[in-house]
Each structure stands twice: as C-alpha cells, then as structure tokens.
Amino acid sequence: MNLVETFRTGLDAVLSHRLRSSLTVLGIMIGISAVILTVGLGEGAQAQVGSEISALGANLLTVTPGSTTSTSGIRGGFGTASTLTVGDAAALASKVVAPDIGAVAPATSTTASLVAGTSNWTTTVVGTDPSWLTVRGRTMTEGRFIVSHDLATRAEVVVLGATTAQELFSFRDPVGQTVDIAGQPMLVIGVLNTVGSSSSSSTVANPDDQAIVPLTTAAALLTSGADRNSVSSILIQATSSSTLSAAYQEANAELLSLHGITTATDADFTITSEAQVLAADTAVDRTLTVLLGGIAAISLLVGGIGVMNIMLVSVTERIREIGLRKALGATPRVIRRQFLVEASVLGTVGGVLGALLGIIGAEVLPHLISDPITVSPVAAIGAIAVAILIGIIFGVYPASRAAKLPPIDALRSE
C-alpha cells in the first residue's frame, strides 16, 4: 500500500467522522492562531519601537540638569534650579569643541493653558530654537517653524502639534489664528506633522500634543522668575548613529569643563539616549511576548493532547475495523501509518485554518487594541509545520496501539 493510498484511507476516515474531526481541528486551530497572534504582537511591538527610534532619531541625546549618584541621591535642583543654560547649548553646537555633534537644541518646557476662541486646552509648551525641528526629526504639515529672527525679536508666535491644533481649532485652519498661552496672545505660524502615538517613556508624553514657541519668548513671557538663560533640557543630535558614543563623550567633557567640575561623578547634569529608554521599553514588551507566547504554546499543547485523545477514542471505536483490515492483510506497519496519516491530517487542517484565523485576527485586533500585530509569512508557515508535527507526535502512541491490536481480539469485539 503506497503513501497515496494510505493518505486517501486516512482522509476517508477523517471525513467520515466530521463532527469529531472538526472539534479536534478546532483545538489545534485555536492553539496555532494564538501562537501566530502573540508572535505577531511581539513582532509588531518591536517594529513599532524600531520606527519610534528612527522617528526620534536613534542618534539623539538628551541633557537634563541634575544627576543621581549612588552616594548622595539627587544632585542639583532637578529641573527647578536649572544648571543648564543657553550658553551650554551654544558651546556644544561648536564644531571645534564637538565635531561629532550635528545639531543642538536647547529647550524649556512648561505646562500651560491654551485658549482659542471658546476652545481651551492644556498642554506642554516648549520653548526652543530653530534646530529643534532637525534634532527631533520632525516636519511641518503647513506654515513654517520658528526661525532665528523670531528668537531675536522674541516674536509672539507658536507652532502647534497636530493633536493640539485639532483640539483648539477642530477642522479650521489654525495658521494665522491667535492662541492665548497663559494669557499672552500668540500667532499660530505652523502645524507639525504627526508622528503617531509614542510609547509613554518618550520625553514628551504625546509628541503630537505640544506647542512650540521661541526660547526667548518662553523665557520672557512664560517662565517668569527663573533665570532667562536657563533651559530645562538640551537635545543633541550626533552626526550619525555610529558617532553617538563619541558625541556623548564630547558633550560630557564639554559640559563638565563649562561647569568647572573636575570629577565626572560630581556632574550636575545627566545625558541620556532615547534609544536606551526605548530599549528598556522593548525589554518589557519582549517579556510580555514571552509570557503570552508561553500561554499560546500551552494551548497548542492542549490541542495536541486533544488530537491524541481523539485518536485513542478512534482506535477503541474502530477496533473492529482495524481487526478486519488486519485480517485482510494489513500489516502492523500499514495500520500504524494509516493512523499517523489521520493524526497529521487533523494537525495540518488545524494548522492551516489556525494560520488563517491568526492572519484575520492580525487584521481585526489592532482596531480593538492599540498595538500593531505583524504576521510574517515565516511565522505562518512555521506554525503550520508545528501543527503537522504535533499531529504526528501525538498520533504516534494511538497509532502504535492500533498496530499492536491482535486481529482476533479486534474482530471479536462487538
């Protein structure tokens, strides 16, 4: 009896017990689709983090005032009495001092209430200079960004994030309109492009919800009382991602010397890389994926046990058939193969349907939850292969039981 015949016989048996076969297939199907979805969820999260890193600029460093040490806790007024100044930013921008630093943007940040007509919205107001756009890797939807002239004249102008503009003006064109920020009327000169919701660990909670004003304007009108030269952070863009650590060294050395600090551990500032923060984020995502994947693997295992159970029931139920086939000349090997084929048919059908269900789920689920799901063809094919393998592995025992049945006992049973 060749393989084609064995396959046909196995398929006949599967088809002649439709309900039972479909329930078994369902078990495998759920397991496989769960695996595909969790793997897709993990891959989606990773892809998202990757795109965020490139959006933020993988070569971005953020200098913040104050530092933490293991011995003395928080050093310096973290954010309140800022130790960073516009002068620091200017020094870092020097190509001579720091050749690996591409662009530098000093920034202050405060939370303020924005009013436009009857609309009212509270958001982060960032005071910065023209290089912010480059350093942040942002683009404009319409209008223009802040230019040097705005800084020099302390122009009362503002650039809005897409969400902020939407909240204040709904569908009206914001450019040319006036917004009151902390009571100061400011002219909207442009709107930033969206970058999509970012992970919560980014410097700004939602990069699409903020208002950008010239640094000098912010110092004069919004952050009253504080030193006008102090900034709450300095954003540094390395010339490329490969020069990131060189840029870090240069910025660190320059700031230490500017602040007259001799030992690195006494630094009154902290330099962090966005990529580091996101990497930590990725690790959390990965842990979650592993956990979910574990649960999916267990459900797949349960599906496999389902196949074994059904095959064992099938062997018991078909003792007579097995006995007859043996009486007619089927060798134990042929019987074993027939049952293995049946089990792997169940596994294959479950695997293919499960992969389909997983792919459909990957299309539908992102609309219900905010996380993207990426199903790669490799994962889908791998899952089907695993399902076939499960059918075979869990079919081995029932098949060998069937093969060992003595023909007389089998024929005798009623």
Partner 1 sequence: MSKPDDDGSPEESGQMGPSLDDTGPVWIEPTASHPVVDGGPPGVYSPVRPGQRQPVIDVVDVWKTYRNGTLEVDALRGVSFTIDPGEYVAIMGPSGSGKSTLMHILGCLDIPTSGEFRLAGDDVSTMSEEELAHVRNKRIGFVFQQFNLLSSLSAWRNVELPLLYAGVERTARKRRALEALERVGLADRVDHRPGELSGGQQQRVAVARALVTDPDLILADEPTGNLDSVSARDVMDLLDELHRSGRTIVLITHDAEVAEAAGRAMRIRDGQITTPVTSGSGPA
Instruction: List interacting residues with partner 1 (CB under 8 A).
Output: 1-2, 5, 9, 12-13, 16, 320-321, 324-334, 406-408, 411
Shortest Å distance, C-beta 18 to partner 1? 11
Shortest Å distance, C-beta 318 to partner 1? 9
| For partner 1, the closer CB: 266 or 321 | 321
CA distance 227 to 86: 10
Shortest Å distance, C-beta 397 to partner 1? 19
Shortest Å distance, C-beta 22 to partner 1? 17
| For partner 1, the closer CB: 20 or 228 | 20
Shortest Å distance, C-beta 329 to partner 1? 2
| For partner 1, the closer CB: 10 or 27 | 10
Shortest Å distance, C-beta 8 to partner 1? 9
Shortest Å distance, C-beta 14 to partner 1? 11
Shortest Å distance, C-beta 315 to partner 1? 15
What does the H/E/C string look like for the chain? CCHHHHHHHHHHHHHCCHHHHHHHHHHHHHHHHHHHHHHHHHHHHHHHHHHHHHHHCCCEEEEEECEEECCCEEECCCCCCCCCEHHHHHHHCCCCCCCCEEEEEEEEEEEEEEEECCEEEEEEEEEECCCHHHHHCCCEEEECCCCHHHHHCCCCEEEECHHHHHHHHCCCCCCCCEEEECCEEEEEEEEECCCCCCCCCCCCCCCCCEEEEEHHHHHHHHCCCCCCCECCEEEEEECCHHHHHHHHHHHHHHHHHHCCCCCHHHCCEEEEEHHHHHHHHHHHHHHHHHHHHHHHHHHHHHHHHHHHHHHHHHHHHCHHHHHHHHHCCCCHHHHHHHHHHHHHHHHHHHHHHHHHHHHHHHHHHHHHCCCCCCCCHHHHHHHHHHHHHHHHHHHHHHHHHHHHCCHHHHHHCC
